[in-house]
Amino acid sequence: MRVMVLIKADERAEAGELPDQKYLEAMLNYNEELVKAGVLLAGEGLAPTSRGKRVRFKDGRTTVIDGPFTETKELLAGYWLWQVRSMEEAVEWVKRIPVPEGYEQEEGVVEIREVFEPEEFGDTMTPEMQEKDRQWRSAGNQ
């Protein structure tokens, strides 16, 4: 199974504060461990939302909103895509994410979300719906 591991932003990340060398090194080692275990498929760190945009859809119209966004708890600072054997394994890996020095007392949240496998719709989707899903996917991806 695949999981998306979402690292929630905090005020420092939103302020554009970069981690120090020691922390970066710990993070690199951690990523290397993930690679060597065959777990890490992809991942990126995200720039603060001051460099982001939102597009809101409403009443058939779109509105573009400039960052930064204020609801810090909902914002993301980075993500990983992992291949694991179970949710429990993902939790064990997340528990091993290094905590930067000076951050021990602060609250941080990492969210683990299961990636849907297309087969999972197998029983609930009729063949017509599956075909429609396929068409939708191909339209979206081309």
Partner 1 sequence: MDVKRTVDAVWRMESARLIAGLARMTHDVGLAEELAQDALVSALEQWPQSGVPDNPGAWLMAVAKRRAIDLFRRNAVLERKIVELGHALPEAEDFAFEPDHIEDDLLRLVFISCHPVLPTQSRVALTLRLLGGLSTEEIARAFLAQEPTVAQRIVRAKKSLVGVPFEPPAASERPERLASVLEVIYLIFNEGYSATAGDDWIRPSLCEEAMRLGRILAGLMPDEPEVHGLVALMELQASRLRARTGPDGQPILLLDQNRALWDRVLIKRGRTALERAAKLGGTLGPYGLQAAIAACHARALTAGETDWAQIADIYEQLAKLMPTPVIELNRAVAVSMAFGPQTALEIVEPLAESLSDYHPFHVVRGDLLAKLGRVADARSSFARAAELTRNTRERDVLLERARTGR
By the criterion CB under 8 A, which residues form the site for partner 1? Answer: 35-39, 41-42, 81, 83, 85-86, 88-89, 91-93, 118-119, 122, 127, 130-131, 134, 137-142
User: In the complex, what is the shortest distance from the CB of residue 38 to partner 1, in angstroms, rounded to a whole number?
Assistant: 4
Cα(54)–Cα(57) distance, rounded to whole angstroms?
A: 10
Closer residue to partner 1 (CB): 60 or 140: 140
User: In the complex, what is the shortest distance from the CB of residue 67 to partner 1, in angstroms, rounded to a whole number?
Assistant: 27
Closer residue to partner 1 (CB): 62 or 126: 126
User: In the complex, what is the shortest distance from the CB of residue 121 to partner 1, in angstroms, rounded to a whole number?
Assistant: 10
